Amino acid sequence: MLRMRLAWPALVLVLASCTSFPRTPPPEDVAAKRFDSVPDKAVIYLFRPQVGFVRDGASIMLDEHLLGTTYPGTYLRLEIAPGRHRLAGFAGDSGHFDFDAQPGRLYFIEQVVMRLMHFDRSHFQVVPEGYGRQVVQRSELIFSR
């Protein structure tokens, strides 16, 4: 019985130490957060802030190509050709956003997902660079393309 009482505090300390170390971000996330531009392409940071009521994933398309799924606190870094583009939700998500991208520029686009009668709808908007950088710094990279 005495051994059991001594074992519990030791087990609690071991488990607590496992969660106290911050996770090292992957190299792609570190590189993306340097916010480098690309001379002949536009760089898009599409992010989903932590705030919001919809916690589910939202699948995203760029120009009819499925990119992946965003979640609160995540972002994508996209290097795209200059010109007219469309970001859009996928399947039941009818939200979309058309924009013109210029080479050598960085764009920060916020995605907020709303739910109405069991259907999600993404709302996209270009936000000021300072705000976009702050949110991306606190977010996790989904992928870079």
Contacts of 22 (CB under 8 A, 6+ apart): none
Classify residue 70: in a domain, yes or no.
Answer: yes
H or E segment and range at residue 38: none
* Domains in the chain, number: 1
For residues 50 and 41, the model is more confident at: 41
Domain that holds residue 35: 25-144
Average pLDDT over residues 10-21: 54
Kindly report, residue by residue over 45-104, the tens digit of the pLDDT: 999 998 766 678 888 999 989 999 999 999 999 999 999 999 998 877 778 999 999 999
Q: Give the list of residues 6+ apart from residue 18 with CB closer than 8 angstroms, or none.
A: none
Determine, yes or no, domain membership for 50: yes
Q: Comparing C-alpha atoms, which of 122, 144, 130 is closest to residue 72?
A: 122
- pTM of the model as a whole: 0.80
Q: How confident is the model at residue 21 (pLDDT cuts 50, 70, 90)?
A: low
Q: Mention every residue, 6+ apart, whose C-beta is less than 8 A from residue 64.
A: 86
**Is 78 part of a structural domain of the chain?**
yes
Average pLDDT, the chain: 84
